[in-house]
Structure 1
Amino acid sequence: MTKLNIRVDDALHERLGRRAHGANLSLSAFIRSVLEQAADPGRRYVFSSQDEILATCIQILTILATSVGRRSPETLEKGMAEAQDLLRERGLLGPEDRS
């Protein structure tokens, strides 16, 4: 295996680290997967098998959020705040992604 050394600024390193943590991967494994994606001749997303599941989950959660929001806006607001905290802990949202 060839070793590759690159330099990135601190902010990018931090964002990559959060994404790697959120994917439950080491930083090296995460970056290797990103490079594989970039080098794919078909320009397909490396984790495309998850896309259909993700799309279905988003649709279900959107329907659920709409229903809860109509019944109890306060409950929806609290749930959204808790969801953002969980996403941030997993590295899927940065500290700047506050609403």
Structure 2
Amino acid sequence: MTKISIRIDEALHARLNRRADAAGVSLSHLIRPALEQAADPARGYVFSSQDEILATCIQILSIVATGIGQQSPKALEQGMADARAILAERGLLAPEATR
């Protein structure tokens, strides 16, 4: 079996140790299933739920934008400008993309 070393903050280490102790297992035994899940392509990975939510949001927004664009191109243009301004305000848009 291969051995790995990772760095985690002391508070997280303490919480994990408490959970392992309460379950009557070693720390390695406690965290091994999370590592296995992260490596299993059939089960997704730790961040898959966020990716799935993002993908769904993009699909929904694309459908809405298409509908609005067909009804009122001017409203779509204004909405896109407002969205770019909000994204730029929050630092979620590259500066050159705000032009």
Letter in 2 for 1:79: G
Moved over 2 A (4+): 42-49
**TM superposition shift of 1:90:** 1.1
Decide whether aligned partners of structure 1 residues 48 and 91 sit closer, same or farther in structure 2, where only a CA change above 3 A counts: farther
SS at match of 2:95: coil
2:84 corresponding residue in structure 1 = 84
Q: Percent identity?
A: 62
Structure 2 segments unaligned to the other structure (5+ residues): 1-6, 9-37
SS at match of 2:97: coil
Letter in 1 for 2:56: T
Alpha-carbon RMSD: 2.7
User: 1:70 and 1:56 mapped to 2: Cα distance?
Assistant: 21
**TM superposition shift of 1:47:** 3.9
Letter in 2 for 1:56: T
User: 1:82 and 1:47 mapped to 2: Cα distance?
Assistant: 29
Asked which structure has the greater CA Rg, the reply is 2
TM-score by length of 1: 0.52
User: 2:77 and 2:45 mapped to 1: Cα distance?
Assistant: 33
Structure 1 segments unaligned to the other structure (5+ residues): 3-41
Between 71-80 and 46-55, report the one with greater CA deviation. Answer: 46-55
1:73 corresponding residue in structure 2 = 73
**Higher helix proportion (structure 1 or 2):** 2
User: How many pairs were matched up?
Assistant: 63
TM-score by length of 2: 0.52
**Higher RCO structure, 1 or 2 (CA under 8 Å, sep 6+):** 1
Decide whether aligned partners of structure 1 residues 80 and 48 sit closer, same or farther in structure 2, where only a CA change above 3 A counts: same
Letter in 2 for 1:87: L
